């Protein structure tokens, strides 16, 4: 079992995704860059292409971000 | 676009499922290639509707909530249904600042938020039968051509 | 932990819903505080099961797929059900490299992956009635105390 998993990962068939917090930070930065470049809000696909991160990971990261933010608010307000 | 897609999700009336419901709707809406702001709008509206079902509809008791999403072209329709206590006077309930739980944060602004963040809001409810909130939003497509 | 939670999702048999189903399961499993690797395992297994329902069960035709997840303590049970063509010989179908669609990528390894990435796999199927795949995985809790 361990072996088949290791084989698949080494093969790049399964990419272990980056941490959601890391993606959330990157979304924030990339959103600003694209906003300036396009003169409008980027779409989720445009972000996905620019960041080379799957849209599904961006969706999850957005939620983890709100949790971080609301936690931050509760603690520091 | 003549895209069509539909889903229906049933989950327990538990506060930890509020965040879950938000992700589900965001993930489904992602097919329409929205902006982060459009996703945030839809998530806020869904949060308000689901929270209402949990705290007002079932009043903390166990129950099932059904969330459905349908995509037609560039329009998404989201509905949140509970079989909880229901609403006696819908018009009054939808008035900004009206609340039957004044001890809670952001009191009385749930329906106002749903109206503000979505294009359309419809509430069907009957006492002791439950409540169904249906909201629609059209995702801007102009951005695709600019 | 005596945590308990459950959900049930019905969606159209469309390839764009494979990614959607993956996020739904990942978002639900998130309550168990899994590692990125554990989430990746579950997502891979769900992808394989949902893809099988779409390409083998319904063979590209329209149909509904039902995904259910239940959490009990630190164990998650995921099941994927279709009402498609079904499987004649389940034992043979589950053999690594066995496939009825040899033209596809990663041929014949779907069930092997589900077995590798989850703790337990059960397949119930009948020709012309459909297929239900049920998988369980216990999320390691030791990390909570380390
Ligand atoms: N699902 C529901 N079931 C029963 N009553 C509801 C439901 N949703 C809303 N209500 C009623 O409508 C009122 C206004 O709702 P809302 O605008 O969200 O404000 P709040 O939730 O802060 O009270 C609630 O106080 C409650 O009495
Ligand atoms: N949901 C399903 N409905 C009908 N047949 C299925 C289903 N899932 C699997 N099968 C059968 O089992 C075989 C093996 O499945 P799998 O191990 O995933 O390999 P692959 O999908 O690459 O063929 C398939 O080729 C198909 O004949
Ligand atoms: Mg409210
Ligand atoms: Mg397969």
Predicted local distance difference test score (pLDDT) of residue C143? 59
Please name the fold of domain C4-140.
Heat Shock Protein 90 (3.30.565)
Contact assignment for B27 to C6 by CB distance below 8 Å: no
Whether A70 is in a domain gets the answer yes
The yes/no answer to whether this complex scores an ipTM above 0.85 is yes
Which H or E element spans position B18?
A: helix B16-29
Pairing between β-strand B75-82 and β-strand B130-138 as defined by DSSP bridges = antiparallel
A65: CATH:
1.10.10.10
Predicted local distance difference test score (pLDDT) of residue B2? 65
- Ligand 4: centre distance to CA A72 (Å): 43
The predicted model gives B131-145 an average pLDDT of: 85
Q: What is the CATH number of domain B4-139?
A: 3.30.565.10
- Ligand 2: centre distance to CA C61 (Å): 16
Contacts C15 to B, Cβ<8 Å: none
Number of helices (H) and strands (E), helices first, in chain B? 4, 5
The predicted model gives C54-67 an average pLDDT of: 95
- How far is residue C45's CA from residue C33's CA, in Å, rounded to a whole number? 18
For chain A, the chains sharing at least 3 beta-carbon pairs closer than 8 angstroms are B, C
- How far is residue B55's CA from residue B60's CA, in Å, rounded to a whole number? 6
Structural domains of chain A, count: 1
Whether A1 is in a domain gets the answer no
- How far is residue B95's CA from residue B140's CA, in Å, rounded to a whole number? 28
3-state DSSP call for residue B136? strand
Whether A68 is in a domain gets the answer yes
**What are the C-alpha distances in Å from C48 to residues A38, C113, C135, C144?**
38, 8, 12, 30
Could you give the dihedral angle defined by the CA atoms of residues B25, C33, A43 and C22, in that order, rounded to the nearest 10 degrees? -60
- pLDDT per residue as tens digits for the range B43-78: 999 999 999 999 999 998 999 999 999 999 999 999
- pLDDT per residue as tens digits for the range C7-43: 999 999 999 999 999 999 999 999 998 988 899 999 9
Give me the residue from A16, A55, A60 closest to C26, CB to CB. A60
- Residues spanned by the domain of A64: 17-76
- How far is residue C105's CA from residue B60's CA, in Å, rounded to a whole number? 48
B48 is catalytic: yes
The residue among C42, C7, C6 whose CA lies nearest residue C22 is C42
Contact assignment for C19 to A56 by CB distance below 8 Å: yes
Q: Which of C18, C22, C38, C52 is catalytic?
A: C52
C129 is catalytic: no
Q: Residue B33 corresponds to which tokens in the numbers above?
A: 């290639």
């Amino acid at each position: 079992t361990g072996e088949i998993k290791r084989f698949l990962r080494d093969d790049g068939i399964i990419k272990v995704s980056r941490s959601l917090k890391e993606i959330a930070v990157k979304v924030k930065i990339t959103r600003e860059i694209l906003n300036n470049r396009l003169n409008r809000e980027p779409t989720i696909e445009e972000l996905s292409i620019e960041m080379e991160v799957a849209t599904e990971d961006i969706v999850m990261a957005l939620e983890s971000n709100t949790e971080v933010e609301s936690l931050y608010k509760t603690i520091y307000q | 676009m003549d895209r069509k897609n539909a889903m229906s999700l049933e989950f327990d009336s538990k506060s930890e499922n509020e965040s879950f419901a938000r992700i589900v709707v965001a993930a489904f809406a992602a097919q329409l290639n929205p902006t982060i702001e459009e996703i945030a709008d839809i998530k806020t509206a869904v949060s308000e509707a689901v929270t209402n079902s949990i705290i007002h509809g079932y009043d903390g008791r166990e129950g099932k909530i059904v969330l459905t999403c349908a995509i037609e072209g560039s329009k998404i329709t989201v509905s949140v249904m509970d079989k909880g206590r229901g609403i006696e006077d819908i018009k009054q309930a939808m008035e900004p600042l009206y609340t039957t739980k004044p001890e809670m944060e952001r009191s009385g602004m749930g329906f106002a938020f749903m109206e503000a963040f979505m294009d359309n809001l419809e509430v069907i409810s009957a006492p002791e039968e439950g409540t169904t909130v249906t909201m629609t939003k059209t995702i801007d497509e102009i951005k695709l051509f600019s």
